[in-house]
Amino acid sequence: MENTTGTIRLGSENFEFPIIEGTEGEKALDTRTLRAKSGCITFDEGYGNTGSCISDITFINGEKGILRHRGYAIEELAKHSSFLETAMLVIYGSLPQKSCLSAFRKQVRESASIHTGMHSHFDGFPTSAHPMAILSSMLNSLGAYYPKMSSNNREQDLAYFDETAALLISKVRTIAAMTYRMKMGLSFVHPAEKRYTENFLHMMFSEPYSEYDDKHGAGKALDLFLMLHADHEQNCSTSTVRMVASGGANLFASVSAGVCALWGPSHGGANMAVIKMLEEIHAAGDDGSKFIEAAKKGEAKLMGFGHRVYKNYDPRAKILGKSAEGILSSIGMNDPLLDIARKLEQAALEDEYFVSRKLYPNVDFYSGIILKAIGIPVEMFTVMFAIGRMPGWIANWKEIAENPKSRIHRPRQIYSGETQRDYVQLVDR
């Protein structure tokens, strides 16, 4: 990395700081010594201008719509790779050799079952519980069944890292399927000797009297969906995972926190919100134009549009838009929601309001249509995102845990409350 310097002038004093440059030419003023030197801190609510870490995992150029994992373009990965191979790439840094990939697949396959002690945890939830609440609780509980892997002793947790990573990638899928079955009042289906997504669909939809038959290629579409969600640098949930990891917490606890952060509608919850929005537009007999007008007046939000980083088309949305058409035509399904989505997209891409604000479809815009076509209930959509994002969370935890210089993440604040005042006795208030 080439280092030059930059200067901040505060009053009459100049303070010089190094400029850090990333491998893709991104520059950052390294202000870590600013407070010590000047007594001043930077204020960046929402962290739009703050680099919280140096990372080797994922590169995004939001202006150009570029997404690369470990140097490989998402379009190339979508064309040639699989979810588990991309997971290994994201976590370990390079495309795996055939034997390593086979060993990883085997380890994931053999880690699929959930300890029977955990089956009873599902009984404790009401069927109305949100699947994301169940998922975060279950992932954290899982750590209790593997105390050696969740010691909160970095050296020990890292010694078990490979095992824990494969276990989490495998079991998050089993927990998701069990959650669905519990909510539907159906008995659990044991994992089988199948590939990753086929096994998931089997655990979701097989019955003792009829094995799930993937005749429309749902497993393949789901594999692509998961791969496209594998990592996305310092988004809200990944930053949360890093934050929790920075305190020394184990991988189970850290990814459980990631699930909670993902849940909200401004982040992973947007994939549920998109389908709800499209259904409401459809039910109201609108072709999307009234909704666009409401969004422009600030009366509605076009869910699945806009992104903190992308000021161009999200490359994942482009791939998923095509995939949505593919899976619908394979099923022979004509979903009016896809037509509304296409109309909304077209209108938004031409409308001054969206164009001037650089609001483009994001990954969530088409993903719900694919998940719906596969038969995944809307309430499970964000859980599907979490399954896909697991490799990214794991890779980011690893980066923190392996860095001997990593410090606890602890931002500062500008205090705006009352200044010191005297306590008033209850009788005198």
266 binds ligand ACO (CB under 6 A): yes
Query: Does residue 364 have an active-site annotation?
Result: yes
C-alpha to C-alpha distance for 256 and 386, rounded to whole angstroms: 10
Here the tokens at position 120 are 């009873």
Pure H helices in 14-115: 34-38, 74-80, 83-92, 98-110
Tokens of 317: 């949305």
Query: Which residue, 151 or 312, has its beta carbon nearer to ligand ACO?
Result: 312
Q: Which is nearer to ligand ACO, 150 or 239 (CB)?
A: 239
Contact flags string 99-138 toward ligand ACO, x per CB under 6 A: ----------------------------------------
What is the DSSP code (8-state) at residue 256? H
Q: Count H helices, E strands: the chain?
A: 19, 6
Q: Which residue, 48 or 147, has its beta carbon nearer to ligand ACO?
A: 48
Does position 304 interact with ligand ACO (CB under 6 A)? The reply is yes
Under rule CB under 6 A, residue 58 binds ligand ACO: no
Q: What mask of x and - would describe binding to ligand ACO in positions 278 to 297, judged by CB under 6 A?
A: -----------------x--
C-beta of 74: minimal distance to ligand ACO in Å? 14
Instruction: State yes or no: residue 364 binds ligand ACO (CB under 6 A).
Output: yes
> What is the CA angle 34-37-43, rounded to 5?
30
List the one residue from 108, 134, 270, 275 that touches ligand ACO (CB under 6 A): 270
What is the distance between the alpha carbons of residues 26 and 53, in angstroms, rounded to a whole number?
A: 13
| Residue tagged active-site, from 307, 339, 351, 409 | 307
Q: Between 282 and 311, whose beta carbon lies closer to ligand ACO?
A: 311
Q: Which of 175, 302, 320, 395 binds ligand ACO (CB under 6 A)?
A: 302
From 214, 223, 231, 364, the catalytic residue: 364
Residue type (1 letter), 108: V
Q: Which residue is nearest to ligand ACO (CB)?
A: 306
267 forms part of the interface with ligand ACO (CB under 6 A): yes
Compute the least distance from the CB of residue 43 to ligand ACO, in Å: 16
Residue 307 in the binding site for ligand ACO (CB under 6 A): yes
CB nearer to ligand ACO: give 143 or 304: 304
Q: Does 276 bind ligand ACO (CB under 6 A)?
A: no
Tell me 311's DSSP state.
Answer: S
* By the rule CB under 6 A, 357 interacts with ligand ACO: yes
Smallest gap from residue 358 Cβ to ligand ACO (A): 8
Size of the site for ligand ACO (CB under 6 A): 19
Contact call for residue 301 and ligand ACO (CB under 6 A): yes
* Nearest alpha-carbon partner for 401 in 159, 236, 231: 159
Find the binder of ligand ACO among 139, 230, 253, 303 (CB under 6 A): 303
Return the range that interacts with ligand ACO (CB under 6 A); candidates 26-34, 60-68, 162-170, 358-366.
358-366
Looking at residue 96, what DSSP letter applies? P
Q: Kindly tell me the sign of the dihedral angle through the C-alpha atoms of 127, 129, 131, 137.
A: negative
420 φ, ψ (degrees, to nearest 5) = -55, 135
Least separation, in Å, of the C-beta of 338 and ligand ACO? 17
Three-state secondary structure call for residue 19: strand
Identify the residue whose tokens are 């998923």: 320
Interior/surface letters 53-89, b for 16+ CB within 10 angstroms, e for the rest:
bebebbbbbeeebbbbbbebebeebbeebbbbbbbbb
**For residues 58 and 392, is the Cβ–Cβ distance under 8 A?**
yes
Write down the residue that tokens 């801190």 correspond to: 41
Is 307 catalytic? The answer is: yes
C-alpha distances in Å from residue 193, one per residue of 110, 113, 189, 265, 390: 9, 12, 13, 35, 22
Closest CA to 83 of 108, 65, 59, 66: 108
Angle at the Cα of 352 from the Cα atoms of 351 and 357, rounded to 5 degrees: 110
Q: Which of 150/382 has CB closer to ligand ACO?
A: 382
Rounded to the nearest whole angstrom, what is the least distance from the CB of residue 360 to ligand ACO in the complex?
A: 10
Candidates 36-44, 134-142, 357-365, 398-406: pick the segment binding ligand ACO (CB under 6 A): 357-365
Which residues are catalytically annotated? Answer: 307, 364
User: Under the rule (CB under 6 A), what is the footprint of ligand ACO?
Assistant: 235, 266-268, 270, 295, 301-308, 357, 359, 362-364
